[in-house]
Amino acid sequence: MKKTIIFCLMLAVSLSAMALSKSKTRTYARFLSDRMAYELDLTPMQYDDCYEINYDFIYLASRVMDDAVYGYMDAIERYYTLLDYRNEDLRYVLNARQYARFLARDYFYSPIYSTGNNWALRIYTIYSNRSFYYFDAPSIFRSYRGAHARTYYNNSYYGNRYANHDRYTGNFRITGTNVMPGRRTNDFGINLKQRGGTTYNNYKNPTANNRTQDTRYRDNSGNKNSPQINHRQQTVPSRSTSTQSTSGTQSRSNTPTTAGSTGSTQRSGQNTGTRGGRR
């Protein structure tokens, strides 16, 4: 009996620290990157790189979000460390003009917030139609598995990919700065504590206008790079290996991407919602 209780407790701990599934991570990262491409005028290369960066951030952050939602300081500190890594990587990818616009949009700059005893993506409060995309999926949508994450690089993988960019040089970090307390309250509420507390955070995201447009305007998003992003081929991972592969491709559909589409881009977990916390 005692062994059974210990096993159940260990299982509960392991589940609370479990990351999102790969399919949900892809869905969240694609939606966030699609809106960044729409609002920041990303090129195809920037779009793919932003997807990789968002994928790595969301996947790793989801491991600590349950504890961050409960206000545990160590988990919140880890979250902001991961967020600083992500925002630094994006600083290498975006030019100075794009990055300044990125910083001015809270749903891009700090994309996760707590609500009740769950966590969610802010972008879904701005664009509530989760089945609508302005652009085709990134070319590496299914093949990318985190190979460019900070876990495998001492410095950013993206540091030298945009050498000709006019790079943003202002402050963007949260950890170790005087903006940390306000940022922490905005994202996780006021119920901060060390281990052993029981209360939830009480932050509620303010209602924002829904900016999702009609699907007829998908290829008229205003991004001049839209024709280059859409209708590209998407790499497919080889079944014989779990590493990134560029050997296989899928033809792209020219029809607008919506939920229920039978086109070449499949989106597992598309309509599972934004909740990533305790289930």
pLDDT score recorded for residue 168: 96
Q: What is the pLDDT of residue 260?
A: 39
Residue (of 25, 80, 31) closest to 55 by Cα position: 25
Every domain of the chain and the residues it spans: 17-250
Identify the pLDDT of residue 265.
37
Q: Work out the number of other CB atoms within 10 angstroms of the CB of residue 15.
A: 11
- Give CA separation, 29 vs 112, 185, 263, in Å: 12, 24, 20
pLDDT at 3: 44
- pLDDT of amino acid 278: 37
pLDDT of residue 161: 94
pLDDT in tens, 94-143: 999 999 999 999 999 999 998 878 899 999 999 999 999 999 999 999 99
Contact 123, 40 (CB under 8 A): no
Amino acid type, 154? N
Q: CB of 57 within 8 A of CB of 83?
A: yes
Please tell me the pTM assigned to this model. 0.70
Residue spans of the chain under pLDDT 50: 1-17, 197-208, 240-256, 258-279
Q: Any residues with CB less than 8 A from the CB of 150 and at least 6 apart, and which?
A: 56, 85, 89, 156
pLDDT reported for residue 220: 60
pLDDT tens-place string over residues 137-168: 999 999 999 999 998 988 899 999 998 889 99
In three-state form (DSSP H/G/I as H, E/B as E, the rest C), the secondary structure along the chain is CHHHHHHHHHHHHHHHCCCCCHHHHHHHHHHHHHHHHHHHCCCHHHHHHHHHHHHHHHHHHCCCHHHHHCCEHHHHHHHHHHHHHHHHHHHHHCCHHHHHHHHCCHHHHCCEEEECCEEEECHHHHCCCCCCCCCCCCCCCCCCCCCCCHHHCCCCCCCCCCCCCCCCCCCCCCCCCCCHHHHHHHHHCCCCECCCCCCCCCCCCCCCCCCCCCHHHHHHCCCCCHHHHCCCCEEECCCCCCCCCCCEEECCCCCCCCCCCCCCCCCCCCCCCCCCCCC
